[in-house]
Amino acid sequence: MPNYGTVQRAVYGVVKGAGKLEGFEPAESELKALPASTTNFDSGLQTIITCQPSVPINATPPQFPDGWSQCLITPTIKRKILSTPGYPKPLNRPTENRHRIARSPPSGGLGVFATVDTKAGVLIFSERAIMILSPVIRYPPNLPSHFTTTQRYQAALCQKEKDIEAVFGRLHEQHKEVFMALWNSHKEDGSGPLLGIVRTNSIEVDYYDDDDDMQFPYTGIWNEASRFNHRKVYSQILNPSSCR
């Protein structure tokens, strides 16, 4: 996916004129299946979808309880992941159950609640992300010259939604249900349903593209971690790591 300019600040709230644009259709991704171990890609390939750690295409969560992540990343990031010493490592597990997922009273969404007194630095739980991707929203190429700034922005959101669809389609059905059950607070700003969930629930992971001048970190969507109060999340998750 070439860089055609980056949206510097994504808006939120009720945006006038948000939604389907006349005269614009998002580009379809051209997908080509390659062996999971592939690290050398065509020089013109900007992004790839890869399952990390690699599991069989018909894998089920009970077969792989540590989970796996569907990643929309650059070839550079995949090489970094596969070159990590000891990768993939099994997840560390807490010695006791220290949390529960429950609905916030009286009628709020689901959240994470402590079940025991827990000191800072103690492992609460561990899980792999459902999805890893860059949060960067880029303007598509060949936008109509008459598009206003708002229309250009809406087109960028539309294209991002289309890109996420390609990753979402590879999720296990159980993971799709988990993903879609997450809260979406971006229903009126032009974000599609998938992008809205990503914008609402994503948490930074420690991967950056070396060739990205803006140096935006990648983000992940988790089943349980994404339900934390995000304003307090880094007091509870010390080093979220995407696929290790």
Q: Would you list the DSSP string of 32-83?
A: ----TT-----TT---EEEEES---TT--TTT-TT--EEEEE-HHHHHHHHT
> Residue 97 — φ and ψ, nearest 5°?
-75, 120
What is the model's pLDDT at position 31? 81
Question: Percent of the chain at pLDDT above 90?
Answer: 39
Q: Is the pLDDT of residue 82 over 90?
A: yes
> Residue 234 — φ and ψ, nearest 5°?
-80, -5
Is 73 in contact with 207 (CB distance < 8 Å)?
A: yes
Comparing 42 with 212, which gets the higher pLDDT?
A: 42
Q: CA angle at residue 204 from 201 to 210, to 5 degrees?
A: 140
Q: Is residue 10 very low, low, confident or very high in pLDDT (cuts 50, 70, 90)?
A: low
What is the model's pLDDT at position 210? 59
Give the whole-angstrom CA distance, residue 167 versus residue 47.
Answer: 12
What is the model's pLDDT at position 163? 94
Give the mean model confidence (pLDDT) for residues 201-211.
77
Q: Is the pLDDT of residue 205 over 70?
A: yes
pLDDT tens digits, residue range 86-109?
999 999 988 888 888 887 776 667
Q: What is the pTM (predicted TM-score) of this model?
A: 0.84
Q: How far is CA 62 from its chain centroid?
A: 22
Q: Would you state the structure tokens that stand for residue 42, as one six-digit string?
A: 């065509």
What is the model's pLDDT at position 8? 60
Tell me the average pLDDT of the chain. 83
Give the whole-angstrom CA distance, residue 201 versus residue 68.
Answer: 18
Q: Would you state the structure tokens that stand for residue 224, as one six-digit string?
A: 């349980």
Q: Would you state the structure tokens that stand for residue 103, as one six-digit string?
A: 């609905």
What is the model's pLDDT at position 3? 46
- Lowest average pLDDT, out of 100-109, 192-201, 209-218, goes to 209-218
